[in-house]
Amino acid sequence: MARFLRRVRQRAGQAAVLIALTLFSLVIFLAMATNVGILVNDKIRIQNAADMAAYGAAYKEAQQLNKLVQINKQILEVARRCRQTLTSTVWTGEICTCENTSPQAELVIEACQQEMDLLAQQFEFEASYQQTVAQAKAVAQSTLDANVSGLGSNLDFFDAASSSATRSGAYRLATTNAPALANFERVEDTIFNYPVLKQCPFGPSCISVGPVPSPNYDMETWYHKDDKNPDVWVMVAVKGTMQSKYLDIDGGGSSGYFGSSSDGGAPDTMYAVGVAKPYDGSVGPSEAPADFYRNANLPDGPYYTPSSIQYPEEAMIDEYRARLAGINEWDGASADYKPKSALSQARFGAISANVNKFRH
C-alpha cells in the first residue's frame, strides 16, 4: 500500500505527457490551417475557371448575335433600296389588261426577294445551334483547360438537360424548325408597293389610267428574336480533383481528415458552377404590338406593324456583350428555361442533389 501511494505521488514525466499532447494539438491545428488554405485556394481556382468558361461561352454567343444583327441590317438595307426603286418611278402596267401591276416592277420585287433570301440563308446558318451554342461549348471547354489543365473533360454544358437553354432544340428557327440559339422569326413586310399607270382597253386601243398604287406585296425581310424573356444563357458546371496534395492524416482512404483525403477519391472532388448571358443588344423589331415586349432589349420604340415601319434599325442593335449571371436570376420570371431547373438535371449527381445550396 505504501509503495502504491508513493507511485501515485511521483510526478516525473507528467510534463512530457502534457508537452506531447500540446504539440499534437498544435500539429493538428497547423494541418487544419494548411488544409483550409489549400482547399479555399483550390475552390477559388475552380470557381474562377467555371466563371471564365461561362463568360467565354456567353461572349461567343454575343459575337454571333452581333453578327446576326449585322445581317439583319443588310436585309433592311435591301428592303429600303427596293422600296426606293419601286416608289421613285411610275411603272407601266401590262398592256390593255387594266390591272394595276407592272411586269417590270414584279421583276424588281422578285430580285429583291431573292437578294433578301440569300441573306436570310446566311442568317439562319449563323443562328443555327451548330454555329452558336456548340461553338460556345467549345470555348467553355478550352477556357477550362487553359485555366486548370484537364478540367475541360469534366465540363457539363447542360446541353443534355431538358430544362436548359443550351440544349439542342430548346430554341428553333421558325422557318425551318432547325435548332438555334434563340427562337427567331422572320418578319413579313407588307409595305412594298409602287405607282403604276394602268393600261386599260378603250375602244380599239389602250389608254393609260393613273398612276394608281399597286397592291401591297408581302415580302419576307429581317428576323427578330421571338422571345419575351432574356433567357439566352449558358451555364457551366465543372468538377475537379485538387491538383495540390494536402495533408492527409489518415494516410489515404476516402473518409479522412475533414471528410476528405488527398487520394483523389470522391470526397476530394470539388464542384463549381458559373452562369453568364449575352445582353445589351437587340436582334430586330418584333412583328406586332402584342409582341412588343418579346425582345427584352427593345428600346421604347418603334416596333414593327404594317402601318408603322419607319425606324426598324433602332431595334437592330449590334452591341451584344456578355456578363456573368446568377443561378437564381430568373427565379420568379416566366422564362422558358431557368438555370436552377437545369441545375437539378446536372450530369454530376452531387450538384443536382444540392441545388438549394447555390445562393447567388
Partner 1 sequence: MKTTAMKHRSRRDRRRGQAAVETMMLAFMVAVMVVATFHLWKVTWAAENSNIRAREAMFHGTAYMTGPRAGNTSASALFNQGEKNYNKATPGGSINFSSSASDSVDGAGNINVNLRITQ
| Residues at the contact surface with partner 1, assessed by CB under 8 A | 15-16, 19, 22-23, 26-27, 29-30, 33-34, 37-38, 40-41, 44-45, 48, 51-53, 55-56, 59-60, 62-67, 70, 138-139, 142-143, 146-147, 278, 280, 318-324
Cβ neighbours of residue 124 closer than 8 Å, sequence gap 6 or more: 173, 175, 176, 178, 180, 184
To partner 1, the closest distance from the beta carbon of 281 in angstroms equals: 8
Closest residue by Cα to residue 313 from 63, 72, 65, 67: 72
To partner 1, the closest distance from the beta carbon of 231 in angstroms equals: 18
- Residue (79 or 139) nearer to partner 1, CB: 139
User: Rounded to whole angstroms, what are the CA distances from 167 to 132, 339, 345?
Assistant: 12, 12, 12
To partner 1, the closest distance from the beta carbon of 104 in angstroms equals: 38
- Residue (38 or 96) nearer to partner 1, CB: 38
- Residue (27 or 174) nearer to partner 1, CB: 27
Asked if residues 259 and 35 have their Cβ atoms less than 8 Å apart, the reply is: no
To partner 1, the closest distance from the beta carbon of 50 in angstroms equals: 12
Task: Count Cα neighbours of 209 within 13 Å in the Cβ-side half-sphere.
Answer: 16
- Residue (142 or 255) nearer to partner 1, CB: 142
To partner 1, the closest distance from the beta carbon of 224 in angstroms equals: 19
- Residue (72 or 100) nearer to partner 1, CB: 72
Residue ranges of alpha helices (H) inside 177-245 are none
To partner 1, the closest distance from the beta carbon of 58 in angstroms equals: 9
To partner 1, the closest distance from the beta carbon of 144 in angstroms equals: 10
- Residue (23 or 266) nearer to partner 1, CB: 23
Backbone angles phi, psi at 3, to 5 degrees: -65, -40
- Residue (67 or 172) nearer to partner 1, CB: 67
Closest residue by Cα to residue 236 from 149, 325, 169: 325
- Residue (63 or 113) nearer to partner 1, CB: 63
What does the alpha-carbon distance between residue 163 and residue 225 come to, in Å, rounded to a whole number? 20
Report DSSP letters for 147-183, one per residue. HSTTGGGGEE-STT-TT-TTSTTSSBBTTT--BBSS-
Closest residue by Cα to residue 343 from 227, 238, 232: 238
Could you tell me whether strands 184-192 and 195-202 are parallel, antiparallel, or unpaired per DSSP bridges?
Answer: unpaired
To partner 1, the closest distance from the beta carbon of 321 in angstroms equals: 4
Number of residues in the chain: 360
Cβ neighbours of residue 150 closer than 8 Å, sequence gap 6 or more: 240
